Amino acid sequence: MRILIATDFSPRSQRAVRRAGILAAQSRGTVILMHVVDGPGGRETSQDIREAQRMTVEQVAVVPELHRIPCEPLVVGGRPSDEIRNAAEAHDVDLIVVGASHRTVGRTAGRTVGNLVRSAPCPVLVARRLAASPYARVLIPVDLSQASARALRYAAKLTLVDRAHVTVMHAFEAPGKSKLSGFGVERDQIDSYVEACRSRSAEDVETLLTNGGLADREWSRRIQEGSPTEAITGLAARIPSDLVVIGTHARTGLGKAFLGSVTEDVLSTAGPDVLVVPPPRAGLERRPRLQTRAGWPGVRPPTPSIANGRVLATARTTGVKPFHVGGASSDLRSAAHHRAPP
């Protein structure tokens, strides 16, 4: 699995870096650690890029979860969400990992996360909690749509749930329930009607899993009455979860409509990490991958690639002179010790 991590060297980015390292170790994957210098260009931006290159290499050196992971630092200038999306397409990555506040995304993480999850060419993992181990409890809400089917497939494909207890949840609403008592329908008849709706929903969930080749997975099923947002946040609070996996729908119009109101609500509510699985992008063509000296796919010359703390390749054109970093991991960690994030 190829993972692209977006970092701005903040504590929330540190959560993303550590989580990506854990996932790469699970899947024997590779990592691109990317920082975008947001500026208009020119001499000042070139100096910022040089400084960011140094800080990115230092971050690789001081994060224990990356010490045995092939890792390529990547620094470019531009608009963060656009450059991250472009890099994900160019390097054909399987997953983007971005950090956000554990409180709320909408209020504290800025527009980058929102823009990214709306336009990314691959799933985006929003890391909101401190990463110390693989995910143990995963919640996958489904609405029986193709978006839910994609979310289930990607959760299995990306090995995020291999060691986790997974709960597949579907929220249903019994049509006309609120009006039945007004028509004089007895409570036990209303309850029977709701249970019939629950049974049909359970059958639909089994069909969804069977069609996706996932029926044999030992995943729990929860069929819960209520609105999707209330059911997801309520169940995540009652059954502590490390990760929520949710698919977005292919819609046109405003960005919020494309993202989907349920996904928007989940991201803006305090809770666990969220994996957002977008719909296929119409007309998206994968760019041809080039093999660099470090074995990395790309469309530009390689940045220094680091594995087991050692630089494997150098020299990348970023609008400034190529940079070189040498030495073993202990040297890098020593030099970067004073910058180690908390």
Give tens-digit pLDDT for 267-289: 777 778 999 998 876 544 444 33
pLDDT, position 4? 96
In this prediction, residues 42-57 reach a mean pLDDT of 81
249 in Cβ contact with 147 (< 8 Å): yes
Q: Both tokens of residue 46?
A: 């070139």
pLDDT interval class at 321 (50, 70, 90): very low
- In order of 58, 138, 180, 197, 215, the CA distances from 203 in angstroms are 52, 21, 25, 10, 12
pLDDT, position 284? 46
pLDDT interval class at 260 (50, 70, 90): low
Instruction: Give the span between the Cα atoms of 214 and 230, in whole angstroms.
Output: 26
pLDDT, position 102? 52
In this prediction, residues 135-152 reach a mean pLDDT of 89
pLDDT, position 175? 84
Q: Both tokens of residue 161?
A: 């749930």
111 in Cβ contact with 81 (< 8 Å): yes
pLDDT interval class at 101 (50, 70, 90): low
pLDDT, position 41? 58
Does residue 229 carry a pLDDT above 90?
no
pLDDT, position 87? 94
Does residue 21 carry a pLDDT above 90?
yes
pLDDT, position 295? 33
Q: Which residue in 163, 175, 98 sits closest to 133, CA to CA?
A: 163
In this prediction, residues 287-313 reach a mean pLDDT of 36
261 or 122: which carries more pLDDT confidence? 122
pLDDT, position 84? 93
Does residue 89 carry a pLDDT above 90?
yes
pLDDT interval class at 113 (50, 70, 90): confident
263 or 30: which carries more pLDDT confidence? 30
In this prediction, residues 29-39 reach a mean pLDDT of 89
Q: pTM of the prediction?
A: 0.76
Q: Both tokens of residue 232?
A: 């997801």
Q: Among the ranges 61-70, 95-104, 204-213, which has the highest mean pLDDT value?
A: 204-213
Does residue 22 carry a pLDDT above 80?
yes
Share of the chain above pLDDT 70, in %: 73
Q: Among the ranges 60-74, 154-168, 277-291, 317-331, which has the highest mean pLDDT value?
A: 60-74
Summarize pLDDT for 120-129 with one digit per residue, the tens: 899 999 998 8
Arithmetic mean of pLDDT over the chain: 75
Does residue 133 carry a pLDDT above 80?
yes
pLDDT interval class at 143 (50, 70, 90): confident
Instruction: Give the span between the Cα atoms of 258 and 118, in whole angstroms.
Output: 7
Instruction: Give the span between the Cα atoms of 147 and 279, in whole angstroms.
Output: 7
Q: Among the ranges 17-21, 41-45, 225-229, which has the highest mean pLDDT value?
A: 17-21
